[in-house]
Amino acid sequence: MDSLKKVKYWIFDLDNTLYPSSTNLFSKIDKLMATFIIDKLNVTHQEAMQMKNDYFRKHGTTLNGLIKNHKIDPHDFLEFVHNIDYSFLKKNTKLNDQIKCLPGEKIIFTNGSKKHAERVIETLEIEKNQFSIFDIVDSDFIPKPEKKPYEKLISQFRIIPEQSIFIEDIARNLRPAHELGMQTAWLINSDEWASEGHGEDHIHYKINKLEDFLEKCNLLIQ
């Protein structure tokens, strides 16, 4: 882990990374995605679920598939699907403390919206001013794992890839980061869609709990 001593840019995925996948927060968003598709495209619930899942696998996000195939308004979609109750997310004091101790810049890199990211970190009681946020709007609605958003992220924040690490629960989303020179950490997620490619060499660290990994990083750095 000695290579972590040179990290100056700490890049975090949001969903199922800053909070555990066991919260099932994303299932709430999933349901609203299906409802949006039913309402906008006049399809059955079964057809909407199939479309949602197919577009996610083929295009990186359901939104990207809907834009390409149906020209839906992405802002309408993001506002609708993130209109959920966040109150069940639990405060994570240790995570907040460990993030605060990290040297350098901290960035959230998400396929979701900035408003969604702000609601999540506010509910977790992570200090908002610790983070910059690079969302799906910033990436021109091109999602991870397409390489363009990573390149735009690097350019916008003037990131030196060799001095950065990207932490993410979807294994395939770490590949472009690795190819661009970043260190990568996979927050273990047993879902098939998230673990695909987890045994490959584009992953430098495999971690079970984000706050424990960051604690080790801080101890190493100090």
Average pLDDT across the chain, whole number: 93
Place of tokens 């992570």: 126
How high is the pLDDT of residue 199? 79
Instruction: Take residue 157 and report the two structure tokens written for it.
Output: 């924040």
Rounded to two decimals, what is the model's pTM?
Answer: 0.93
Phi, psi (degrees; rounded to nearest 5) at 192: -55, -45
DSSP code of 91?
Answer: P
Q: How far apart are CA 193 and CA 56, in angstroms?
A: 10
Instruction: Return the domain boundaries, the chain.
Output: 2-19+90-221, 25-81
Fold of 25-81: DNA polymerase; domain 1 (1.10.150)
One-letter amino acid identity for 40? K
The CA-atom distances, in angstroms, between 140 and each of 129, 135, 221 are 24, 9, 35
Is residue 217 within 8 A of residue 10, CB to CB? The reply is no
Domain 2-19+90-221 shares a fold with domain 25-81: no
pLDDT in tens, the chain (222 residues): 778 999 999 999 999 999 988 888 988 999 999 999 999 999 999 999 999 999 998 998 999 999 999 999 999 999 999 999 999 898 999 999 999 999 999 999 999 999 999 999 999 988 877 899 999 999 999 999 999 999 999 999 999 999 999 999 999 999 999 999 999 999 998 887 788 777 788 999 999 999 999 999 999 987
- The secondary element (H helix, E strand) that includes residue 184 is strand 183-187
Instruction: Take residue 130 and report the two structure tokens written for it.
Output: 């610790």
> DSSP 3-state assignment of 215?
helix
The superfamily (CATH) of domain 2-19+90-221 is HAD superfamily/HAD-like (3.40.50.1000)
What pLDDT, in 10s, does the model give residues 3-52?
Answer: 899 999 999 999 999 998 888 898 899 999 999 999 999 999 999 999 99
How high is the pLDDT of residue 182? 98
